[in-house]
Structure 1
Amino acid sequence: MNIPLGVMALAAAFFFLHLPETDTAHRPRIDVAGMLLLALASTALVLTTTWGGSTDAWDSAIVLSLIAITLVAAVLFVVVENRAEAPIMSMKLFREPNFVKTTVAGLVIGVAMFGALAYLPTFLQMVTGANATQSGLLMIPMMGGLLVTSIGSGAFVSKTGRYKWFPVVGTFVVAGALALL
């Protein structure tokens, strides 16, 4: 499924995507240091949460070293991004209260939602006895609901320009759904 869709996406990008002409004399330098530090911090964080408490104890040298690497790489990432000509993530964004609020809300809701999405198929297989295919099919109504509500809310916001109440209501709906789950 992925290969035909990928080929179609590449063909569409090749034939229909027309990028604007840019001044080739002054192209910003690629933020290689920022990319490497972000990759290092992300990898160390994932390894910390994966190995900590299961493969290695939380107070083991490996896990503590990974935590230190995560923190040092994150701090260096912020320093590098503040000095980069074309940063991966501009630190100026964090001076905007709306950006910070929506990022935090998105993080909390995303963690909760993806936690549930990762948990549900396992629950369906182990508790109800469904096989992997049946478990996937049982997830279709939820994914359909997500599809319809995301398209519907996007269309509503585009049409009316009113958006502020969506995150508030969405947070309560997700919290209620997780409580029922």
Structure 2
Amino acid sequence: MKNITILISGSGTNLQRIIDCIDSGEIRNARIIQVIADRECYGLERAQNHQIPNELIKRGKDFAENLEQAIPENTDLIVLAGFLSILKPEFCEKWEGKIINIHPALLPKFGGKGMWGHHVHNAVIEAGEKESGATVHYVTSGIDEGEVILQGKFEIGENDTAEK
């Protein structure tokens, strides 16, 4: 059984999808052992609703140290699921090969600092792209620079906006 710790910053839609996939058996031999948020967010309520241990670690002076201490020692995989804080290089090196990120666009395009949520979707639309998607990649000390694990694509319609 693989133990997963999930880091979030928002509503937790990716977290909910992972929970649903584990519950349905689509993801096998895995369980979420901890959810950590860097701000008050609905994703923490989702974790509570599923009796998943969770913790709020607000960003600030001791954030990196507090985050490191909050990760359970038996964690096999850390998933950044809409997590907006930048991780320190030392943290990324310690967990190398065991941290993945769900990015809301096709990398290497539309990655890096500031490319999250509606910002990345606006950038894709403004660039006139004909397709977009999501990328799951390994996390390194470079923002959105890790090796791509998988991508899912969809066509962008003529009337599509970042909101729909």
Task: Tell me the TM-score normalized by structure 1.
Answer: 0.22
Whichever structure has more strand as a proportion of its residues is: 2
Structure with more contact order per residue of length (Cα contacts < 8 Å, sep ≥ 6) = 2
Task: Tell me the TM-score normalized by structure 2.
Answer: 0.24
Structure with the greater alpha carbon radius of gyration: 1
